[in-house]
Structure 1
Amino acid sequence: MKYNLLIKGLIIVTALAIAGLLTSCEQEDYQPATSVMPGGGTVTTYKAYTLGAADPGGENIHGRIVFYKYSSTVTLVQMGLYNTDPDTEYASEIYIGALIDGSSTVSKALDKVNGESGGFTTYKYFTIKDETFFDGLDAYDANVRVKLGATVVAAGDIGSNAEPVDVSE
C-alpha cells in the first residue's frame, strides 16, 4: 500500500515538473524575417524601432516595430512585443508627432496585437500601400502606441523623432 502511494506521488511530482518546464512566461524573440517561401521575394530592406514600456505600474510590455520595404509601393510592418497577456488583444496605432508631444491625432491604425504571440493578430505583417511611406520614413514625424483600452502600455518614436535600432538597406 505504501509502495503504491509512493509511486503515485512520484508520478504526480514528475508530471508537475514536466508541465513547469513546458510552460514559460517568455515569448519568442522576434528577429526581422528576411526570407519567404520559394517563389516569393526576399525582404531585406528594413528599419526597426524600439517600443518601450509606457505603463509604469503595468506589465513592462515592450518590443520592436519593424518597417520593411517590400516594393516601391508597399511597406510591410511587423510588431514584436514581450510580456503581453496571452488572453488579451491590444490596439496599435501610428500617431502624428513625437511621443513627448502627446498628440491624439492617429495617422494610421495598425492591426490589433495578439497577447499570446506578441505579434499582429490577423497577419504577420500589416501592409501600408503608400509609395512614399518607407522612403519617407526618416522624415516622418510620428510615434507608435500600443494600448489596452485607453491605457498606453508600450510606445516609441519613429521616423524623424528617433534613430532606428537596426537598419538594413
Structure 2
Amino acid sequence: MKHLVYHFRSMPALVLLFALLVLSTSCEQENYEPIYNAASGGGTLSTYKAYTLASTDGKNIYGRVVFYKYNTSVTLVEVGLYNTATGTSYSSSIFQGKLSAALTTSLKPLDTINGTTGAFSSNKYFTINEAGFYDKLSTYDANVKVMQGTTLVASGNIGVNATPVAQS
C-alpha cells in the first residue's frame, strides 16, 4: 500500500510534465520574413547640391562635399574624400569668401574627417540647424577647407563661388 501512495503523490508532477511537453510541441511558431522596403520616401534625401573638393597638396586628397535639404530648418552635410591616410584625422570647416581670397574667417566648423574612411568621424552627416540655410546656399560667398593639422589638403568653393557638380 505504501508503494501505491508514493505513485499517487508523484502523479501531479507527472501530469504537469506531460502537459508542458504537449503544449511546447503543439504550438508552432510562424516564421515571418523581414520586410525590407521603407515607407514611401523613407530614407531618401532627394534635394541636394554637391561641390568638388580639389587636392591642394602633393598627397592628391580630393572628393566632394554634399549639402542635403532635410527640411526648411535642417541641412545635412556629407563629405567624401579619397586618398586620406589611415589613422589620420582631418578638420573641416566652411570659410568666408572665395578660396582665392585666402580669408581665414570660419563660418561653420564641420565634423572631423576620419582618414580610414574619408568620411565624417562621428556620423554620416553633419547637421546644420539653421532655418533657410539650404535654400540660401547658392547665394553664400563661401568655401570648404579640409586641413591636416595646419596644412590645407583639400578645398572647394561653394555657393555663389561655384556651380554644383551635381544637384537634384
Looking at structure 2, the residues matched to 77 and 62 of structure 1 have their Cα atoms a distance apart, in angstroms, of 16
Give unmatched runs, 5+ long, in structure 2: 1-36
Looking at structure 2, the residues matched to 131 and 86 of structure 1 have their Cα atoms a distance apart, in angstroms, of 36
Looking at structure 2, the residues matched to 78 and 114 of structure 1 have their Cα atoms a distance apart, in angstroms, of 13
Looking at structure 2, the residues matched to 38 and 108 of structure 1 have their Cα atoms a distance apart, in angstroms, of 33
SS of residue in 1 equivalent to 2:71:
coil
* RMSD (CA atoms): 1.1
Q: Counterpart of 2:144?
A: 144
Aligned length: 130
Give unmatched runs, 5+ long, in structure 1: 1-36
- Higher helix proportion (structure 1 or 2): 2
TM-score w.r.t. structure 1 length? 0.75
Look at both structures and tell me which one has the larger radius of gyration over its CA atoms: 2
SS of residue in 1 equivalent to 2:167:
strand
Equivalences for 1:1-169 in 2 at 5 Å? 38-39=38-39, 40-55=42-57, 58-168=58-168
TM-score w.r.t. structure 2 length? 0.75
Looking at structure 2, the residues matched to 113 and 134 of structure 1 have their Cα atoms a distance apart, in angstroms, of 22
Looking at structure 2, the residues matched to 41 and 64 of structure 1 have their Cα atoms a distance apart, in angstroms, of 21
User: Identity over the aligned pairs, expressed in percent?
Assistant: 54
Looking at structure 2, the residues matched to 166 and 45 of structure 1 have their Cα atoms a distance apart, in angstroms, of 11
SS of residue in 2 equivalent to 1:92:
strand
Looking at structure 1, the residues matched to 143 and 76 of structure 2 have their Cα atoms a distance apart, in angstroms, of 17
Q: Counterpart of 2:29?
A: none
Looking at structure 2, the residues matched to 91 and 163 of structure 1 have their Cα atoms a distance apart, in angstroms, of 24
Looking at structure 2, the residues matched to 72 and 42 of structure 1 have their Cα atoms a distance apart, in angstroms, of 16
